[in-house]
Amino acid sequence: MPINNERVSYVAYARKRIVYHLKRNPLRLFRFLNPKIIGNSLASHQLREARRLGDWNGERDSRQERFAASDNWMVGNGLARREYQTYDDYIANQRSKLERVETQLRKHQDDAYNRFRSMFEACDALKGRRNVLCLGARIGSEVKALIDLGYVAIGIDLNPGDNNPYVLYGDFHNLIFGDSSFDAIYTNTMDHCLDPEKMVAEIVRLLIPKGLFIMDVTRGYDEGMSVDVDHSALAWSKASDFVSFVTELGRFDCIAHYELPDPPWTQALLIKR
């Protein structure tokens, strides 16, 4: 489904959220009877729309042109992989992104926290699990949301910033934790992965048997999504094809793949065999 630059009304957005929760956690709908929560939801929607349309008006086309013209990307079989001269160059590039986005992350961290909390509450597959590792967690809004929901959670990132209580330094290609350490693993940063084969192998190693891998991925570049040519290391043509790729790579069972209420994001739930 192509992504366009038309404004999405709050009514359409709210309808999509209702359908989402009806399918996953209907009891959560009672929270929306609270006028304060409705107000916060409206404010969050308006903020997302402003950010989405700002990115789409001009920057998207520029990114697509730079991606198409770049010699740094190898494209084949529905995947695009960025080439770096050395692994240290990759690490430096990934670490540098926080400097570019930290101000915005701090400014909108309450909105991000509410989004993550709502999403994790609606995820029935996560219920009953005790500990969660978040990969590429940056300032840790998703980790805080999980902790407040009663999980033992920690994040890792190549650049967690200073004095971050939720996120440790770590490279998701080579993690320090022992085998079968986590009930669940979450990430929305697959596009920053240099070596998906190695990263998925680490995820499989760390999960307990029947452990849950929650993977948020955007739509692909053939579905209207622009590639972050400055900091992404991996891109895919279609979200569904990429989910299938990861499922086969890790020999997971994919129990669900659906659109999240805030496009262009989708979410896949994968179970370790």
Question: How much is the pLDDT for 3?
Answer: 40
pLDDT score recorded for residue 4? 43
Strands 152-157 and 265-272, by their bridges, are unpaired
Structure tokens at 9: 């009304």
**Is 255 in contact with 270 (CB distance < 8 Å)?**
yes
pLDDT at position 63 is 66
CB atoms within 10 A of CB 71: 6
| Average pLDDT, 10 consecutive residues per value, the chain (273 residues) | 51 68 65 66 62 51 69 91 96 93 87 92 95 97 98 97 96 97 98 97 98 96 87 96 98 96 90 97
At 214 the three-state DSSP class reads: strand
Token pair 């010699």 is found at 71
User: Mapping DSSP to helix (H, G, I), strand (E, B) and coil, where does residue 87 land?
Assistant: helix
Domains belonging to the chain, first-starting first, are 10-272 (3.40.50.150)
Contact criterion met (CB below 8 Å) for 44 and 114:
yes
What's the pLDDT score for residue 108? 83
Distances (CA, A) of 43 to 122, 158, 247: 21, 31, 36
Q: pLDDT value at position 67?
A: 76
Answer whether 117's CB lies under 8 Å from 145's CB.
yes
**Predicted pLDDT of residue 56:** 45
* Total residues found in the chain within this entry: 273
Predicted confidence at residue 81, as pLDDT, reads: 96
Q: What angle do CA 172, 115, 112 make, to 5 degrees?
A: 65
